[in-house]
Each structure stands twice: as C-alpha cells, then as structure tokens.
Amino acid sequence: MNIVITGSTQGLGSGYAREFLKRGHNVMVSGRKQASVDKAVSDLRRVAPAGVRVAGLPCDVSRIEDVQALWDASVREFGRVDLWFNNAGYARTGVTFLETKPTELAAMVRSNVIGTMNGCQVALAGMKAQGGGGWIYLTLGGGAKGRVVPGMAVYSSTKRALKYFADCLIKETRGTQVRIGTVSPGINITEGMLREIEEVAPAARARMLKPLNLIGDHVETTTPWIVDRILAGRESGHDVTWLTGGRMMKRLFASMFRKRDVLSRYGLKA
C-alpha cells in the first residue's frame, strides 16, 4: 500500500509513518520545512524494511498548490496513492478564547480546517482519476463529539467542524470506491504539546498538567494500535478512537491502586 501522511516529520505523524513502514507499506511524509522533511526521511529509512520506500516533500496544507504538489510527487514516486492521512494540524490549548492570539486562531483554522479540506479535495479527485479508489482519513480529537472543555475553544471548534465535514464526505462518496475514515488519537505527549505547555502561564500550566498523567500517552503507545486498526478498515465511515470510555474507566480504576506517570520522561510534574 502507498500512503501519504501530512504533518509527519515529528509527533504523531512521524509515529504513524514509522508503524506503516514497519508493516511493509511505502510512505510519503511531509512537513512545512525542507530541513525537517530531510531529517524525517533519513530517520525513517533506518527503520524501513528492505524494499519498502519512504520519501518526503515540504507542504503547507493551507496552500492548495502545495497539497496538489504533494499528491503529484507521491504518484511519481509510488505510481498511485492508496491511503491519504490528513494528520497536519496546529493546537493552542490551555488558554481562554480571549487569551488566544489572532495569529494562533488563524493558524488553527488554516491548518486544521482548510488544510484538511484541501487534502480531502486533492485526494478525492486524485483517487477518482487514478481508478481503484482508496482511503482518506481525517484526524478528529478533542471537541469533535461536542464535549465542551474550557481552554480549548478554538481548537475544539475546528475539530467539531471536521466531524461534520467527515460525515458529509461519507455520504457524498457513497457508491464510489473512495472510502472515508476518522482517527481520534487521544492526548499524546508530542513536541507540539510540549510547546503548548511551555507557552502557558505557570498557574494555567499547573491546571493543564494535572490530568495528563491520567489521560495522556506516549506516541509509541498509541500509534501501533491506531495503524493496525486503520489497516483493518473495510467500510467507509470507519472510526478509530484511542481514548474510549472503556479505556478511561480502566485507567480510573487502576489509578486507585497505582499512580500513572507519563510526564516525568519530559521533566514535567503534575
């Protein structure tokens, strides 16, 4: 299978790329800067099995011409694209709406909403043209199902919008060979999250860190499970959700006997 992952030079995207490669699938990675793409490709080639290919291209998903160039480069490299994974996104959480800078608000809408829509439009057109269809995955997350959490007003609004958009795509592609899936990866401690934590004021930081030992995860914990379930998808509308109610209940029960700690690895303490 030939797979394109946007926003895959670090964090969850890099984790997904690594897991797809380990399972024998070719991967095209992307990020905003050439240097980060080059490093990611170099690192991933070290773990790719013999004969499995990895390539990369800089891409700003908010620019439709960049997204089209990513599709075209992937087709040149692999011959076709079987799975397009819209992973690129930007988050600024842990602050109120009023504390969110206009530049941060615009970045979240451009990357999370417009970027995902650009990816879906290019991939949908490309998959219909190439024949044989394919899978398009959208990344959801906090707020997508309507849960309201203070400090996530803009970010969660973008994810709620993507849930509606995904539901529309599922209906609009019915009867075609293009299938739509969604991924809710939970709360992962990534470079982006560490940046968010660093940027909030000390008092807000303490509130932000408090629940992370219970709900947070390392990238290498979630990505193998998520990738296996993506590859097991058969019908359009396939949803992969990591932090389910059942998983959360198990953690709450286990926390009565032993404290869970995911923060100390990063020099953080709740």
Rounded to whole angstroms, how far apart are CA atoms 184 and 100?
Answer: 24
Q: Supply the Cα-derived Rg of the chain in whole angstroms.
A: 18
Whether the CB-CB separation of 31 and 87 falls below 8 Å is answered with no
pLDDT digits (tens, 9 = 90+) for 18-67: 999 999 999 999 999 999 999 999 999 999 999 999 999 999 999 999 99
**To the nearest 5 percent, what fractions of the chain are helix, strand and coil?**
50, 15, 35
Whether the CB-CB separation of 16 and 87 falls below 8 Å is answered with yes
pLDDT of 200 > 90? The answer is no
116, 148, 242: which is closest to 187 by C-alpha? 242
> Which residue, chain included where needed, has tokens 């170099």?
42
How confident is residue 210, by pLDDT bands cut at 50, 70 and 90?
confident
pLDDT digits (tens, 9 = 90+) for 102-154: 999 999 999 999 999 999 999 999 999 998 999 999 999 887 787 877 778 99
Rounded to whole angstroms, how far apart are CA atoms 167 and 165?
Answer: 5
pLDDT of 229 > 80? The answer is yes
161 φ/ψ angles, rounded to the nearest 5 degrees: -60, -40
